[in-house]
């Protein structure tokens, strides 16, 4: 007697399936079967009649892979697009961004958060690890749009706007207040949206919190049973300040005060010395590598050495350009050129580091990052019938070196379709964009006061 079809909620077919699970090859003619938000099968297509699916997504001319995991992001930072990419480069972080952030109101952060979420989903990113302002507003946007997110409030006790002139005066009560807000956020949101939203404690950087604030933040994260998220050795100024104050590198300092642990995500390590890398490795802390931002600032972290030390490493977008494919190409090109060896980083490893590797950084590799039975159903589909992708041969370089974020046509998070045929299913993209554009005149005026070269149109085009 023939076996009855197995009931599932969603069946996603693919001409090419990239499972990214251990030892799994690319599968020509694959499919992913989903029930109750989890994968029940990911592999070669089973015979016709095997599934009784509520919804079937056709895979003709399509590739399916795990949703990208973005292990260090600032979804609402898009207000600074183009404002630190040229000229002063990294210095603009201090002279423009840090001085402007305090001028952005919570309602504006809310609109920017919705824009950032839309940008992430359209690029194939299904999970973000975010540290920024107004975490409640970002959580609301994440809950609305269907993204998966770990979110931290940005904790610091200095006037960030004064750092460009080397003023590290501690502001009484500021750090405690921001940490209390972060704790309150974690208590309110951790585990919400069916578990899609989790919380972390986020001390901004080694130099922008004093040792006592770092220690109390570590204690709060431990009490809450959640992880931490921090920028580390991200600028020469940070590294020089810590060395002058403490006689060691920023990661050595964080180790010595007891902050580093396996549940800590360290972003950047751009100016990390040998002792810093040893500190990360010995404490088990993880590393978020942001390949798009480094070449713009003319410096690249010691990626190959970091990986060789066994430090858990995943890729991330950081801020403003949320295109994982662009990021993987930046990494491939930079690492190969630095090493003088085209074998220094492979296309498969680059894709792994933006899926399973980044999931491992967040401690989520048992739940997301690959397509295999039992895992949460987070996946994306690319349209291969694009001129820049043909002829498509199905190997890793075909995808990693030639695909673009705009090729993503379908995204599934927790088994729910959140992007269908290139359109967001839970956000009105036009209203999201319009909401942000309404703030543009004020932002442009403020930025120009800080030395920006942002241009203002004289009026509607008369073409």
How much is the pLDDT for 463?
A: 41
How much is the pLDDT for 241?
A: 98
In the chain, where are the structural domains located? 6-66+372-424, 68-361
How much is the pLDDT for 87?
A: 61
Q: Are strands 38-44 and 51-57 parallel, antiparallel or unpaired?
A: unpaired
How much is the pLDDT for 456?
A: 73
CATH T-level fold of 68-361? TIM Barrel (3.20.20)
Radius of gyration, alpha carbons of the chain: 22
How much is the pLDDT for 263?
A: 98
Which residue, chain included where needed, has tokens 């409030």? 153
How much is the pLDDT for 461?
A: 46
C-alpha triplet 211, 159, 87: angle, nearest 5° = 110
Domains 6-66+372-424 and 68-361 share a fold: no
How much is the pLDDT for 91?
A: 73
| pLDDT by position in tens, the chain (length 463) | 678 999 999 999 999 999 999 999 999 999 999 999 999 999 999 999 999 999 999 999 999 999 999 999 999 999 999 887 776 656 788 888 999 999 999 999 999 999 999 999 999 999 999 999 999 999 999 999 999 999 999 999 999 999 999 999 999 999 999 999 999 999 999 999 999 999 999 999 999 999 999 999 999 999 999 999 999 999 999 999 999 999 999 999 999 999 999 999 999 999 999 999 999 999 999 999 999 999 988 899 999 999 999 999 999 999 889 999 999 999 999 999 999 999 999 999 999 999 999 999 999 999 999 999 999 999 999 999 999 999 999 999 999 999 999 999 999 999 999 999 999 999 999 999 999 999 999 999 999 888 877 777 654 544 4
Q: Are strands 416-420 and 264-268 parallel, antiparallel or unpaired?
A: unpaired
Q: Which helix (H) or strand (E) holds 15?
A: strand 6-17
Q: How far is residue 265 from each of residues 100, 149, 327, 441, measured CA to CA in Å?
A: 26, 14, 19, 36
What residues contact residue 330 under an 8 Å CB cut-off, 6+ apart? 291, 292, 294, 295
The secondary structure of 88-152 as a DSSP string is: TGGGHIIIIIHHHHTT--HHHHHHHHHHHHHHHHHTTEEEEEEEES-HHHHHHHHHHHT-EEEEE
6-66+372-424 CATH pick, 2.30.40.10, 3.30.1450.10, 2.60.40.10, 2.70.150.10: 2.30.40.10
Of 223, 288, 227, 277, the C-alpha closest to 255 is: 277
Residue 375, sorted as left (phi over 0), alpha (psi -120 to 50) or beta, turns out to be beta
Which residue, chain included where needed, has tokens 């932002």? 443
How much is the pLDDT for 93?
A: 83
pTM for this entry: 0.96
């Amino acid at each position: 007697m023939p076996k009855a079809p197995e009931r599932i909620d969603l069946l996603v077919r693919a001409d090419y399936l990239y499972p990214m699970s251990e030892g799994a090859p690319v599968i020509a003619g694959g499919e992913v079967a989903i029930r109750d938000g989890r994968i029940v099968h990911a592999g070669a297509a089973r015979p016709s009649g095997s599934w009784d699916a509520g919804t079937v997504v056709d895979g003709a001319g399509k590739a399916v892979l795990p949703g990208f995991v973005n292990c260090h992001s600032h979804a609402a930072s898009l207000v600074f697009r183009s404002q630190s990419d040229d000229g002063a480069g990294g210095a603009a972080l201090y002279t423009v961004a840090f001085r402007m952030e305090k001028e952005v109101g919570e309602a504006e952060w809310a609109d920017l958060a919705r824009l950032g979420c839309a940008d992430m989903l359209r690029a194939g990113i299904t999970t973000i690890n975010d540290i920024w302002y107004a975490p409640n507003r970002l959580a609301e946007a994440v809950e609305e749009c269907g993204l998966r997110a770990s979110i931290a409030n940005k904790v610091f006790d200095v006037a960030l706007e004064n750092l460009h002139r080397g003023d590290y005066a501690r502001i009484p009560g500021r750090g405690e207040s921001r940490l209390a807000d972060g704790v309150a956020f974690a208590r309110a949101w951790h585990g919400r949206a069916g578990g899609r939203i989790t919380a972390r404690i986020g001390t901004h950087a080694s130099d922008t919190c004093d040792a006592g604030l770092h220690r109390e933040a570590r204690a709060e994260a431990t009490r809450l049973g959640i992880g931490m998220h921090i920028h580390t050795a991200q600028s020469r100024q940070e590294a020089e300040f810590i060395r002058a104050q403490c006689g060691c590198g920023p990661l050595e300092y964080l180790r010595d005060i007891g902050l580093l642990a396996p549940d800590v995500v360290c972003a950047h390590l751009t100016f990390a010395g040998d002792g810093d890398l040893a500190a990360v490795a010995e404490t088990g802390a993880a590393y978020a590598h942001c390949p798009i931002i480094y070449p713009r600032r003319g410096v690249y972290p010691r990626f190959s050495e970091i990986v060789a030390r066994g430090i858990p490493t995943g890729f991330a977008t950081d801020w403003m350009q949320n295109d994982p494919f662009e990021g993987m190409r930046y990494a491939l090109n930079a690492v190969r050129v630095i090493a003088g060896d085209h074998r220094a980083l492979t296309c498969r490893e680059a894709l792994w580091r933006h899926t399973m590797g980044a999931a491992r950084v967040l401690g989520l590799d048992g739940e997301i990052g690959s397509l295999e039975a039992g895992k949460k159903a987070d996946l994306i589909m690319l349209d291969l019938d694009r001129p820049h992708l043909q002829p498509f041969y199905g190997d890793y370089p075909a995808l990693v070196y030639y695909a673009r974020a705009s090729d993503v046509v379908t995204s599934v998070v927790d088994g729910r379709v959140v992007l269908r045929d290139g359109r967001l299913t839970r956000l009105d993209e036009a209203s999201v964009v319009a909401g942000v554009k309404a703030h543009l005149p004020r932002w442009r005026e403020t930025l120009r006061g800080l030395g920006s070269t942002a241009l203002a149109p004289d009026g509607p085009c008369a073409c």
